[in-house]
Amino acid sequence: MVTVRATQLELDTAVQALRAGEVVAFPTETVYGLGANAQHAEALQRVFALKSRPRNHPLIVHLDSPRFLHRWVSNMPVAAEKLAARFWPGPLTMVLPRADKVLDLVSGGQTTVAVRVPSHPMAQQLLTAFGGGIAAPSANRYGHVSPTRAEHVRDEFGDAVPVILDGGECKLGLESTIVDCSGDVVRLLRPGSISLTQLRRVVGDVQVGAVSNSPRVPGSQQAHYAPVTPLSVVPGGDLDRLADSLSDGGQRVAVLAQRPPLATYQYVTWINAGSRVDAYAHDLYANLRTLDKVGCARILVQEVPDDERWDAVRDRITRASAVAAHEDAGDSMAAGVLP
């Protein structure tokens, strides 16, 4: 990835906008964020309004380094300190006990706050120049495919987000790993590029998945990360048969696979995303956006391997397929995993 830095004019414009209570889109190594001053209630309300995001859904506070943690976190457990030392700056979000002055709009009204120190050089530039916390969910409409390029943000919001820092394509392409460090055990709440095995190497036991008293975190809804076109996950052995039969019936179908098609199918748009997990994850959202524009009735996504390296990808496409399943539970094509 080419390192992209903002010009001084771009940086000054973005910082002035944040201090004036406006929103700014900026790149991280995971996806683009829609940022606001985390201590400015009206600015945070603009984020929720632009995204049509539920007000009780917490935001992630981005910092340039752990030096500002005391403003947001009431105490830092030993496990969190170890994880920060190993993975920050980087694609790890930690849920920690919140400080008293954290706004409810940031925490979703909870007693915890989610914090992260991103590694993207332009994000670091912005955070350092701003000198405070920037609350930033992904820069897309709520529940939709996350943006990994500046053009994706423009496609989503147009002129409603006047300041967009263009840092090129995001290096990773999937949202950060989220771990809850606010309780007695460390708990993985959202998979990302930092795996369960990597976490356990640092802090030992890490539990997986939310329990009844786990804090709400971004991206935890059953249906999320979805294109407009209904999406179904398909076992690899059935992919060509389904594509062939659907296109024979006159339906335009889009396919996201890990291999080329076995034949040429009428009315089928096929993307071979390959079998390398890092490349597949990097391109996933861009590929879904491409297929979303084709004008197909359905996107078929090949099931990914049952392997820890694919956990984050599997999580995203499973949630994306749940949107279609929820909207049309009576349609076998919308039942999530086919056939």
Q: What is the CATH classification number for the domain harbouring 318? A: 3.40.50.11030
Q: What is the pLDDT of residue 324?
A: 62
What pLDDT digit, counting tens, does each position of 240-298 carry? 999 999 888 788 999 999 999 999 998 999 999 999 999 999 999 999 999 999 999 99
Give the whole-number percent of the chain exceeding pLDDT 90.
87
What pLDDT digit, counting tens, does each position of 301-335 carry? 999 999 999 999 999 999 999 976 545 544 544 43
Buried/exposed code over 234-245 (b: 16+ C-beta within 10 A; e: otherwise): beeeebbebbbe
Q: Cα–Cα distance between 247 and 239 in angstroms, integer?
A: 12
Beta sheet of 253-257, edge-to-edge order: 231-234, 298-302, 253-257, 268-272
Q: Which residues pair with 301 in a beta bridge?
A: 233, 256
DSSP 256-269: EESS--SS--TTEE
Does residue 119 sit in the same domain as residue 82? yes
The answer to whether residues 181 and 96 touch, using CB atoms and an 8 Å cutoff, is yes
Does residue 203 sit in the same domain as residue 237? no
Does residue 286 sit in the same domain as residue 153? no
Structure tokens at 226: 């979805």
What pLDDT digit, counting tens, does each position of 30-50 carry? 999 999 999 999 999 999 999
Q: Is residue 111 part of a domain?
A: yes
Give start and end residues of each alpha helix (H) in the chain: 8-19, 41-51, 78-87, 104-107, 121-130, 150-157, 196-203, 239-248, 277-292, 311-327
Q: Quick one: pLDDT band at residue 337, thresholds 50, 70, 90?
A: very low
Structure tokens at 12: 């000054």
Q: What is the pLDDT of residue 3?
A: 57
Q: Is residue 138 part of a domain?
A: yes
Does residue 263 sit in the same domain as residue 188? no
Does residue 243 sit in the same domain as residue 96? no
Q: Is residue 88 part of a domain?
A: yes
What pLDDT digit, counting tens, does each position of 200-237 carry? 999 999 999 999 999 999 887 888 889 999 999 999 99
What pLDDT digit, counting tens, does each position of 152-199 carry? 999 999 999 999 999 999 999 999 999 999 999 999 999 999 999 999
Does residue 100 sit in the same domain as residue 195? yes
* Residue after which a domain boundary falls, among 159, 175, 208: 208
Q: What is the pLDDT of residue 263?
A: 92
Backbone angles phi, psi at 226, to 5 degrees: -105, 140
Does residue 164 sit in the same domain as residue 121? yes
Q: What is the pLDDT of residue 224?
A: 86
Long-range (24+ apart) CB contacts under 8 A made by 195-200 are 195/308, 195/309, 195/311, 196/308, 196/311, 197/308, 199/83
Q: Is residue 30 part of a domain?
A: yes
Number of domains in the chain: 2
The answer to whether residues 18 and 46 touch, using CB atoms and an 8 Å cutoff, is no
* Amino acid at residue number 2: V
- Tell me the average pLDDT of the chain: 93
Does residue 30 sit in the same domain as residue 100? yes
Does residue 270 sit in the same domain as residue 199? no
Q: Quick one: pLDDT band at residue 336, thresholds 50, 70, 90?
A: very low
* Residue after which a domain boundary falls, among 164, 193, 208: 208
Q: Is residue 275 part of a domain?
A: yes
Structure tokens at 299: 């996107």
The answer to whether residues 94 and 83 touch, using CB atoms and an 8 Å cutoff, is yes
Does residue 288 sit in the same domain as residue 239? yes
Structural domain range at position 235: 231-334
Q: What is the pLDDT of residue 2?
A: 57
Q: Is residue 52 part of a domain?
A: yes
Q: What is the pLDDT of residue 135?
A: 98
- Report the predicted TM-score, pTM, of the whole model to 2 decimal places: 0.93
Among 214, 198, 195, 216, which residue's Cα sits nearest to residue 82? 198
Q: What is the pLDDT of residue 335?
A: 39
Does residue 121 sit in the same domain as residue 187? yes
Rounded alpha-carbon distances, angstroms, from residue 322 to 100, 183, 232, 337: 37, 30, 8, 9
Q: Is residue 257 part of a domain?
A: yes
What pLDDT digit, counting tens, does each position of 113-162 carry? 999 999 999 999 999 999 999 999 999 999 999 999 999 999 999 999 99
CATH number of 162's domain: 3.90.870.10
Q: What is the pLDDT of residue 327?
A: 52
Q: Cα–Cα distance between 9 and 101 in angstroms, integer?
A: 32
Q: What is the pLDDT of residue 247?
A: 87
* Amino acid at residue number 173: G
The answer to whether residues 191 and 127 touch, using CB atoms and an 8 Å cutoff, is no
Rounded alpha-carbon distances, angstroms, from residue 338 to 234, 274, 302, 305: 5, 21, 10, 15
Q: What is the pLDDT of residue 325?
A: 58
